[in-house]
Chains A and B, each alone.
Chain A
Amino acid sequence: MYPCRAHRLVSLLLALCAMLGGAPAARADALDGLLEVKSAYAQPEQGVYQLFARVAYPVNDDIRAALKDGLTLTFDLDVVVSRERRFWMDETIAEYTLKRELSYHAVSDRYVIRDLDPRNGGDQHTFPTVEEALDALGTVESWPFLLKAQLNPNRQYRVSLRAGVRRGRLPDTLRVLLFWTDDWHRESEWFSWSLPL
């Protein structure tokens, strides 16, 4: 018992050191794999820019097992619209995040995607398989994100898109406690393009 406790204490101290170091070591987890924005474009329609994108999320048995065990994955899609400036840093015009979560519903044996934006009223869809669910998550169709009126036609604008996934939906108490532990979290590279005016 004592050696075990001593070992725990040592690991606690190591964790403390790692935390003080400010650079938690990256760990291998179920989110390892391909995560990238495959394609994206924005198209104005009736004065509103709509986003179309394809994102590839990692699919593997670990994710399946984790979801089956009751874990929830949160998928964020960050969109940043910035005005390009030649001699200064770009100015951010708009910044939105499409936040959704994927979980496994054990009673119905279905994968549930839920929109976390309260304005959408918790809209959710169910899928029989993970692949279908991830495919649905990776497909963004006609997401209105910008008013044309917000833009100056004489300026250049740039849209940047980044996908992120992390393990989430812990009870809040635990989630804050676990900020330094192996809280799965991955982000793709930014996918940017010039906004056609």
Chain B
Amino acid sequence: MTTFLQIVVNGLGKGAVYALLALGFVVIFKATEVVNFAHGSLALLGGYVVFATRPTLGWAGAAAVGVLSAGIAALVVERLMLSRAKLASADSLALLTIGVDIVVTEEIVRRLGTRIPFLGDPYDAKPLHAGDVTIFRTQFVALVVSALLLTGFFLAFRYSAWGLAMRAQAENREAAALMGIRSWRVTASAWLVAGVLAGVAVLFLATQDFSGSGLSRDTHSLALAAFPAAILGGLDATSGAVVGGLVVGLAEALSAQYISFDFAKSAVFIVMLVVLVARPSGLFGTRERQRV
């Protein structure tokens, strides 16, 4: 029983991190209908900045700079490339992000070379004990941090002017623009938020507790799980992203324990596949209807 509990907590903690990634993903999609294939590379970039500035700034400072860098990088991608591609449809822009992902990932992996740094200094490999149950501290901190961030996000999304603008643009871009909402600001801020969330997520991904692997190409693979999480929940549903993230985290943890470690990755995608076959637009996504 205690094992099961540990696994559930472990899974939820992982799920919280995936939720952060998935939410950023969904925020971009809601604002622009673009699927951001470069999400993993943004996380990598943020992680690399943490690694590079840690010697001089210490962990806390490096983490702050890293998170910020990821956000700024996302902003740069949007301002410099996506917004300039005037001719392109949303699908084409998604393909563009594939290009960005390739370039950024290769460059970061190249710079890392043989080094595979762990980024979770304050909490990595320091298990918590609650009676019989041993919990990875990383996962626990991740849960807390994610809960805070997600709550903050949803409050802003529902009650702030920014959130309103974002929802309006997601609903009907032209009408929102006509109402005075500057679409470029909404889009740019969506990317910024997504980058920041990815920057936070990498601080938990590149740890021993989470994956056993430090910052490397593996981190990019892990970030890939944001896809099934976001898709599962429905690409245009912010709450769906959180649910999706948690489902993915749990599926991974449970299948790693009860089936096999190798199967865990496939398990996540298979779960997603099953959900999609039953609900082609994800659990909470809105169905498209083609007009004739």
Verify that A and B bind, or say they do not: no
